[in-house]
Structure 1
Amino acid sequence: MALFPAYANDSETKNPNEAISKTQDETWLENSSFKIDVIGSQASTSGSLEHGGTGSNVNLIGTSESDSNESDVAKQPKRKKKRKKKVKHHRNKVVESETKQDGDDFKIDTTRSREFLTVQTIARPSAPKYKISFKMYRPLKTSKKKLKRYFHFIVEKQSSEKETKLTKQDLAKDISVERNEDFTGFKQEEDMSQMTALYNRSLGENPRDIDMWLKYVRHQDAVFQFEKVYRKGSMAKGLRVTADRKLTILEKALSHNPDCELLMRERLNISVSAYPADELQIQLKKLVEKEPGNIIWWQGYIEASQCSMSHCDIPAVLKLYAKCLSTLHQLRRNSVLEKSHLEENILRMLYQCGLFLKQSGLFEQLWTLLRLYLELNLSPTDKNKFNILSGFEEKQLVELEEVVLHSQLPIHELWLRVERLREACHWLPFTGDSCEDPQRLVFPEDVAELIHPITMPGNTFKLTATILTLLKTPLLPCRHTTMQGLGLDYVPWAVDSIETLLPMFFPLYPLNLSNKNLLRDTQRLAVGPQYLKTFPGQEEYLEFLLTTTKNCVDCLNGKEKTAVSVWWFRFQRLLIVLDKEERFKMSSLFKKKMKSSMKQLLKSEENRNNVIFYQEYALIEHELGNFESAINVIITAIQMYADGKCILNITNEEERTVICSLYRILVELHLNAPSDIETNKQKALKYLVNLTLGRHIKNMNEFLTQGSLNETTLKFKHVTLQLLQKDPPVLMSEDHFLPNFFTDWIICNGWFLYLTKGAIECGSFLEETLSSIQNQTWQKEVLFEFYIAILFKNSLEKPGVGMFRLLDDALYRAIENFPNNLFLLSVLAKEQSLNCSLGQPWWKLTNLLMKTGHAIPSLFLILIANQRTCEIEENWIDTVTGKLFSEGNSLTNRMVSLFRRMTSLEMCTRRCGLVWRLYLQFLHAHFDPSLCRKAYYRAVEECPWLKVCIYFMYT
């Protein structure tokens, strides 16, 4: 029986003999159910078929003879269907022959079925939805992939290539293996080898190149990253190996440069981040015994105990400070050449010890230490000069505590409020017979081991500045070179409260840098005793601080006395500025009292002829809103001192300095006038002409001629060339608070060029001047400030892309050279507030401010990020909903990443109290308490002596 009925007849008649002639017989092509001449094309060429069957010549396309069987084969014309728009043209298709092998009883179906192309899709309710969001404030990712992944390129191996296989038996043999050029890290490894060879060759030729040594040390980080990616291994082991490499390089560098502070500081930072506290103490103790006069090793040795949870004990840490100070004192007594340097080291360690006492909450002990230093070195004859009373009534504090205790709050909240009240009101030791709080009972014997005399004349002002800074008086203005000269920049954990950053609001040039979103929580970040927040003891502590400063003025002489007096005037001017910006509330009674004390100082006989004091008083009048009164004070001082004198004919250096400073203040007051801008610019230009030509100050009705302007230009150029040909004099620390003829004359020349020829000409003049000053001196820093002020002022008046690019370039260069300058940082923050997200990219700001190695620029990065967030929430509106834009996840994640980077091991800000306070406040506002708790434990681990962190636990 056949498999298919169509082949039933054939299977019955066939026999084995007929199979031989099958190839010559074509009857097998016929089928009773389907007859067609498949090889019709062959039959048409050969004539008739040899087999006498029923088939005939049939064309592949066309009609055959009228037969009922053949009519099915012929192709019938199709009827056209009616279509609306498009008509498909059908073509006749050739029927392809299906080849079949001999003896096969099946065929392969290769005809496609269109029905299989239709796939039922999921209906819309069940279909998944994908949300693609686009954030305007998120920068687009433009970074390319650095590594070539294995699936990016298909490497086809040729059969002709023979790979060399290495087995265990061949390890002992010397078999050369071809290196794989397609290895993705091969190029990087070659580059690093070339860089290492370059460093070795350069340092071998010039081992005194400090920058090259530091670059070589930082190059080890790139080597570690390469090994982490391509040579998988333990992370902790890799970090330790990298630290050992760096230390080996630094030891070799210190052998060639034994007195380099930068190399020693780098070695200390690497040791602190790589070794545990016990091992670090052992290493640093050996270094201290080897070099007892090296203050950097002493600092690291003390911090190894102070910053360790297991070793941080206040009496033990104070013993280490006492041991360090006594060692430095003994070395000073036995030394003659380095006596001044050792005294400066004593003042540095005094500053660090005072910071430890202040941040630990031992303010009574701190004031006792500072008072004894003042009595020993400033007023040895009058021991009661600094016995200042607080003026706060104890009964008022008792009443406030009773109100808190009767408020029925939880116990932890009661403790926190009472402790803050006592901290704000108690900063002096208790002088009575009995006291409930033993911390307030401080005797001179408790701090006697920390007290040493300061005998060198130049260090008396540094001692005064150190004490006033520890009492929370900000440096005004706060410049990088001033902090370096006073020894206040080498402690990275010095910033624990907001008072250090207040000079950012101090006006220096005729610019409006007010920014309400920068440092919005001024009062919240204050730590008692304080004078910013409206709280019990606020005015009493402020009055105590002003009285202490005034008593220091009475004990000093010469330039030091004038410098501290100027500092006292500027501090009160800063308080007025803060009051205007509503960051600090000052009562009208205290204002009157403050103004009467300034007038009383000016009326004293020794200060009546001091023009610098009248200049500072005029600036205070201007901040109070009395513009005309301020101008009259300056003009009166000029008439008294040198009216009509040509500055070229004055030989007295002090007299020339005072005259130039008065004219500079007069010009800047007119340029900062709120109204009649063009008129005041003309007045300022006339004052500059009077300065150079020696005209009378009241001859302001004369018109400016081109001849007088040309003569003024020549005289400015002549004096400026004379000043630039000389080397700038080395300034003492007190000179940073006083007028300087070199900087004031260059600034007056710059204002003249700005008013006559524009900002571009003034900028080119300042670029030439800055390039002529080689060292990073105080004069160069002041001129950089003025350069930035000119560019920023012109950018506000005539905004344009080109001016902002010049401003960014100059500002970045200035911050790289002087990172602790708060005026430069405030200009950077103001520029970011003007441009918002259209300013410099975030990565540029991060690289600029975090690579300096100082805490203040890194803190400003946090403040700028908070400022951006506040401006987005206040000004941005959602175009879809019409509501104010809320803080997105990207901004929150950016802040979290920034805080984590700042508290990492390699950053100097990981022990900065203010950074941890901002971090904890941010987490408390945006995340759950568990994350805040983890960050709090980390803060206590890094800063175990910081008392303000304990307050956060109770909140």
Structure 2
Amino acid sequence: MSEPKAIPKFGSFRPKVTPPVNDQENKSSSREKADAGEKEKKKHSHRHHRHRSRSRERHHQTTEAEASHLSSSKRGRSRSRERDHQVIEAKFFQPPKGTREESPDLFFIDRKGDEKNIAYGSIHRYSVPAFYRIGAGNVLGAPTNLKINRNYGDEKEIVLNDWRNSISSSREKYIFSRVAREKPRLLKIRPEHVARNAEDSSEDFVSLNQARGKKRKRTGQDGGESSASENDETHYRSIHGKSKPKNQPEDEGLQYATESESSGSETGFKLDSDAPGRQRNVQLGQKVEQDPRDIDAWLALIEHQDTLLRGQDDRRRITNAEIRSTADIKIHMYEKALEKAGSLKDRERLLLGLMAEGSKIWEAKTQSDRWEQISKDNIDSLMLWKSFLNFKQATFSTFLYEQTRDICLRRMKLLSKAASTASSDTINSIYQQILYVLLRLTFLMRESGYSELSVAIWQGLLEVNFRAPKNVCSKEESLRQFGTFWESEVGRIGDDDARGWRHFVENQVVPETDALVAEMDGTLDNANLFQSWAASERSRCKDSLLPARTMDDVVEDDPFRVILFSDVEDFLVILPPNSEQLQKSLLDGFLIFCRLPPLSAIGQPAQDKLTDAFVRDELLELSSTWISSAYKQKARDGSDEFDISSTLDAPISAFQSSPDTIFATSHWFKNIRAWRELYDGDPSPVCYKWVRNTLNQLTQAYFREDLTEYYLAFEWRNEPDTIKKISKSVLKQHPSSLKLYNSYAMIEWTRGNKDAANGVLSAALNMSNSMSENDKRDSILLWKTWIWARLEDLDKASALQHLLSIVDVLPIPQFAHLRRLFLRLGNTLYQISEAQGDIATALLCYTSLSNIFIDRNLSGIPSHELLLQSAARLLFHHARIGPFRPAFLREHLSNFITLFPKNTIFLSLYTWNEARLRIDNRVRNILLSTVLTPENDSLTSRLFAIYYEINHGTIHSARSAFEHALSTPASQSSAGLWKFYIIYSLETPQFHSHAKDIWYRALRACPWAKELYIFGFEKLSGGLVSFEELKRTWRVMGEKELRVHVDLEDSFEEIAELEQSEKGHKRLGFRGAS
């Protein structure tokens, strides 16, 4: 190879000759080079200091003319020093010779990032080249009002603060603030000091007088045997300047431990705030090792990992990398614990926790596969399958209507197969699971737009279980006969004049029915396309609440309007004969499907349904007008007196049904509201007429006292003009039912017909005298109704008369007998307190009976809750009619809430009692400590907390209550709660601009809820959301396989063609003008 050519030199580019530097400058230069490392670290701060010094000097020069000569001389000397320093800096930072191409490492482009970020949560410090910050704390790309806060952060992260607002308040002013922020460092004894004083270990004492002072006295002797500390220290008059802080402790016998030694692995001890947490971790680990099958110990150890992550500093921001790494550790612990789990209950607890942690690090597909496998491996667990269904239904990326429907169908087939071979002990549990799956499935169908199919399934279930023929045959033969009945298209349950399956089989007569003709109303307006579409879609939904027949003339050619037997065959379940509890559960399911409260004294199966956010979601289908008025802040007149009636108006209630609540007067809570009040103007979830007919036909075909009582309450709330006729008709059919007489008496009393009510109660009590002991048990309900009616009318004398007449069955006519009876029993309280009586003694009776439930481990049964509801009613009556002690109410209501934290009667009364005082924040405290805890959290409790904040808090506390509710597993998938949040944002001017983001969040959280799409198109298409965004959102409904009646694709094409033609006209007009 030829030698490389020499680079030509040009004289015109020769650098200027640097003037010679004198000896003093050479000395300064040598000193500067010796301290180059330290100067390199502090260069930027020196430059910044000089800049500020020069600025101050210029200011003094213009304002202090009298000292100009002195200032100029000083500046001359200063400039000479600065000039020397600048020459040295120019030499130190002189770039290497050569062109830009000869320095490939001058710039480095990293397109992948540092892999250590994921592993360690920060960059690799040794791979970062030397750099220096400029900009006085500003960060490139961040707003100019944000600056780096030097008081916080470390080498892994920086903290930005708004210097305009918080810099003055965030800095700590006390003298030891910097010391308090510094992390403690571990001290260790120097090894050489231990070796030098080895002989001291044999002494009987520890000498506190070390040789440190003697060494100072021997300074200069023995050829420099001065202490090492003196050699290290700099004299205060030294030419080297101020002494610098030492990196070692004052005591020469100690030294600072390294970072690895401070971790505790070598020293076995750590002086930090996390020591108790680590010690607790060691104890839990040892407990798990001693008894690996103790699942509670495993769960405690797993939960403690969050405490270790958080440490003692709750204010520290936990990074995503820390969350992911901790989740990975907990997943490993869960998997090890699962190997030791024996019972299904333990596996449920562990698997739910495992999947909760997996959601932090796994992709949606991985989670779906794991849930699928868990559901197959644990066929007996309804809880795990329900969690799997919740995941599939509420995950936007994986939700498809047909896939979710098939999950429910596969579960039903699997349970039906298990029921065919199940024992008598487990068959009831299996059928309860089947009924829950059916309820979830029909809700999914209706909320996705398939109302006809959901109603048809319930029609089939009620027909085959309550109106089946009397002849008993196999299930296969029964379904075949029912298919014949279905395909004949005669009236089914709920239809007008429907006779049912049994009548069809016995008479073999097919009545003629008139064909229905649906009229098309509503047209699309391209100028306001989405609002007109929402109105037209709602109209079509209203016409599609019930399944059509093949002879009906429907507006659209829609195959989903007519439901064939093959469409419902797979969903029909025939309950075992004489299974009264399962039949009641089926009736409860039907009522919940119709958005009605279940029958009285519900058991655990119905209670579980009512706490499920996917089931208990009335707000989604309630009228937006009713939601706004029900949760609207109650107006106050400025006085301390609160309207006591507002206490009884909690919009969404959760308590045990009883005759007191379904026939409630204006002085107590009610749980059945008028249908027209709830669904005023908007389409109801189901047809009101169909619900009314179904209840009536069920009472005719399958008589139950509680069901008939419920039907009378429904009729009284919705059809008060005809209730008297209906009640008498029912009593004529069942003349010996004391419960029905009691219901009729309560209706008459509430309507104001007190004389008629007194007559009914008296006649029923007289009739009970001739009944058997078993049949006359319900007479106590008549006495209770009569006594409470008198108390609410403030007729204490008559109430007391009826109360004491219970033992004699017949009323005592003379009031004087009551007075003598009281005195004979030794109770003189009647003479002392004639106004309200002794409420404390009365509550003792309730408390003693409640303690019996608790002692027998029956604290959670419905009977106990009904008992405490009765006690709460007595407390409320006591407070309503006269003075009372708030502390007394608080004590008892707090106990009630502790036992039943989801009961809205107790919560409402507690809130009313505390709101009158306006002193302490007890309501929020009991909500956070007792009601909204993870083990007690529910959708109804969250709605109550929001209701409280709207009426007693601020708009910001109300919004915070919404956000907390939508971030908890108990209510984050409630489509009705999301709808309520959108309504609140739109009606609150401060939050109006947030409605769009909340709508999109709602669609991501509840992709199946068609009502959320329609509601957004109605309320947000006026300018908050652009046309293109609405267009893409509308198409998402098709992607998720939701039912859409009115298609918009043709309208989209028309609008696109109009836009193209307008653009063409504009171009032609421009050319003509030119």
TM-score of the aligned structures, taking structure 2 as reference length: 0.58
Once the two structures are TM-superposed, the CA of residue 782 in structure 1 deviates from its matched residue by 1.3
Alignment length, in residue pairs? 699
Once the two structures are TM-superposed, the CA of residue 819 in structure 1 deviates from its matched residue by 3.5
Match of 1:818 in 2: 900
Match of 1:623 in 2: 750
Once the two structures are TM-superposed, the CA of residue 208 in structure 1 deviates from its matched residue by 7.6
Match of 1:670 in 2: 790
| Equivalent pair of 2:790/2:796 in contact (CA under 8 Å) | yes
| Equivalent pair of 2:547/2:562 in contact (CA under 8 Å) | yes
C-alpha distance 394-205 of structure 1, shift in aligned 2 (>3 A): same
1:427 equivalent among 520, 545, 551? 545
Superposition pairs for residues 288-327 of structure 1, below 5 Å? 288-327=375-414
Superimposed CA distance per residue, residues 909-945 of structure 1 (whole angstroms, 9 cap, x where no aligned partner): 1001221112111222334665222222221111110
Superposition pairs for residues 930-945 of structure 1, below 5 Å? 931-945=994-1008
Question: In 1, distance between residues paired with 2:408 and 2:589?
Answer: 17
| Equivalent pair of 2:897/2:907 in contact (CA under 8 Å) | yes
1:598 equivalent among 713, 721, 727? 727
Question: In 2, distance between residues paired with 1:712 and 1:257?
Answer: 57
Deviates further, 806-815 or 945-954: 806-815
Match of 1:948 in 2: 1011
Once the two structures are TM-superposed, the CA of residue 687 in structure 1 deviates from its matched residue by 1.2
Once the two structures are TM-superposed, the CA of residue 762 in structure 1 deviates from its matched residue by 1.7
Match of 1:567 in 2: 710
Superposition pairs for residues 193-212 of structure 1, below 5 Å? 193-194=279-280, 197=283, 201=287
| Equivalent pair of 2:1002/2:1012 in contact (CA under 8 Å) | yes
Q: 1:279 is matched by which residue type in structure 2?
A: T
Q: Does 1:348 align with 2:436?
A: yes
Q: Does 1:388 align with 2:469?
A: no
Kindly report the root-mean-square deviation, in angstroms, between the aligned alpha carbons of the 2 structures. Answer: 4.7
Superimposed CA distance per residue, residues 146-202 of structure 1 (whole angstroms, 9 cap, x where no aligned partner): xx965559999973365423469x979999659564x4x24xx41563487379759
Match of 2:840 in 1: 760
1:255 equivalent among 335, 338, 341? 341
C-alpha distance 299-177 of structure 1, shift in aligned 2 (>3 A): closer
Query: Percent of aligned positions with the same letter in both sequences?
Result: 15
Question: In 2, distance between residues paired with 1:175 and 1:466?
Answer: 60
Q: Does 1:687 align with 2:796?
A: no
Match of 1:418 in 2: 536
Match of 2:308 in 1: 223
| Equivalent pair of 2:1003/2:1012 in contact (CA under 8 Å) | yes
Superposition pairs for residues 844-883 of structure 1, below 5 Å? 844-851=926-933, 852-868=936-952
Deviates further, 785-794 or 484-493: 484-493
SS of residue paired to 1:911: coil
Once the two structures are TM-superposed, the CA of residue 278 in structure 1 deviates from its matched residue by 1.5
Question: In 1, distance between residues paired with 2:393 and 2:973?
Answer: 11
2:320 equivalent among 197, 221, 235? 235
2:449 equivalent among 352, 357, 361? 361
| Equivalent pair of 1:566/1:613 in contact (CA under 8 Å) | yes
Once the two structures are TM-superposed, the CA of residue 257 in structure 1 deviates from its matched residue by 3.8
C-alpha distance 321-620 of structure 1, shift in aligned 2 (>3 A): same
| Equivalent pair of 2:902/2:931 in contact (CA under 8 Å) | no
Superposition pairs for residues 10-409 of structure 1, below 5 Å? 150-152=178-180, 159-160=250-251, 162-166=253-257, 181=271, 183=272, 185-186=273-274, 189-190=275-276, 193-194=279-280, 197=283, 201=287, 218-226=303-311, 234-239=319-324, 241-242=326-327, 245=330, 248=333, 252=337, 255-259=341-345, 263=349, 266-267=352-353, 270=356, 273-274=359-360, 275-336=362-423, 337-381=425-469, 386-389=492-495, 398=519, 401-402=521-522
Question: In 2, distance between residues paired with 1:784 and 1:528?
Answer: 27
| Equivalent pair of 1:427/1:529 in contact (CA under 8 Å) | no
Question: In 1, distance between residues paired with 2:1002 and 2:332?
Answer: 27
C-alpha distance 661-244 of structure 1, shift in aligned 2 (>3 A): farther
Question: In 1, distance between residues paired with 2:872 and 2:587?
Answer: 31
Superimposed CA distance per residue, residues 86-113 of structure 1 (whole angstroms, 9 cap, x where no aligned partner): xxxxxxxxxxxxxxxxxxxxxxxxxxxx
SS of residue paired to 1:488: helix
Once the two structures are TM-superposed, the CA of residue 251 in structure 1 deviates from its matched residue by 7.3
Question: In 1, distance between residues paired with 2:375 and 2:780?
Answer: 50
Once the two structures are TM-superposed, the CA of residue 329 in structure 1 deviates from its matched residue by 0.5
Q: 1:442 is matched by which residue type in structure 2?
A: I
C-alpha distance 490-203 of structure 1, shift in aligned 2 (>3 A): farther
Q: 1:858 is matched by which residue type in structure 2?
A: R
SS of residue paired to 1:164: strand
C-alpha distance 330-396 of structure 1, shift in aligned 2 (>3 A): closer
| Equivalent pair of 2:875/2:889 in contact (CA under 8 Å) | yes
TM-score of the aligned structures, taking structure 1 as reference length: 0.64
Superposition pairs for residues 904-915 of structure 1, below 5 Å? 904=967, 906-915=968-977
C-alpha distance 373-793 of structure 1, shift in aligned 2 (>3 A): same
Superimposed CA distance per residue, residues 377-409 of structure 1 (whole angstroms, 9 cap, x where no aligned partner): 21123955634347999999747x34x768x97
Match of 1:659 in 2: 779
Q: Does 1:916 align with 2:1002?
A: no
Larger radius of gyration: 1
Once the two structures are TM-superposed, the CA of residue 831 in structure 1 deviates from its matched residue by 3.5
Unaligned runs of 5+ in 1: 1-147, 506-510, 576-585, 644-649, 715-749, 870-890
C-alpha distance 493-599 of structure 1, shift in aligned 2 (>3 A): same
Q: 1:338 is matched by which residue type in structure 2?
A: T
| Equivalent pair of 1:849/1:861 in contact (CA under 8 Å) | no
Question: In 2, distance between residues paired with 1:163 and 1:667?
Answer: 85
2:678 equivalent among 507, 521, 532? 532
2:694 equivalent among 542, 548, 564? 548
| Equivalent pair of 2:439/2:589 in contact (CA under 8 Å) | yes
Question: In 2, distance between residues paired with 1:166 and 1:757?
Answer: 74
Q: Does 1:468 align with 2:556?
A: no
| Equivalent pair of 2:538/2:683 in contact (CA under 8 Å) | no
Once the two structures are TM-superposed, the CA of residue 220 in structure 1 deviates from its matched residue by 4.5
Q: 1:600 is matched by which residue type in structure 2?
A: S
Q: 1:360 is matched by which residue type in structure 2?
A: S
Match of 1:42 in 2: none
Q: 2:818 is matched by which residue type in structure 1?
A: L
| Equivalent pair of 2:389/2:404 in contact (CA under 8 Å) | yes
Once the two structures are TM-superposed, the CA of residue 327 in structure 1 deviates from its matched residue by 0.3
| Equivalent pair of 1:566/1:616 in contact (CA under 8 Å) | yes
Question: In 2, distance between residues paired with 1:250 and 1:853?
Answer: 27
Match of 1:48 in 2: none
Superposition pairs for residues 743-822 of structure 1, below 5 Å? 758-773=838-853, 774-775=857-858, 776-800=860-884, 803-822=885-904
Match of 2:163 in 1: none
Q: Does 1:444 align with 2:565?
A: yes
C-alpha distance 371-228 of structure 1, shift in aligned 2 (>3 A): farther
Question: In 2, distance between residues paired with 1:265 and 1:543?
Answer: 45
Q: 1:327 is matched by which residue type in structure 2?
A: L
Question: In 2, distance between residues paired with 1:338 and 1:219?
Answer: 37
Once the two structures are TM-superposed, the CA of residue 893 in structure 1 deviates from its matched residue by 1.9
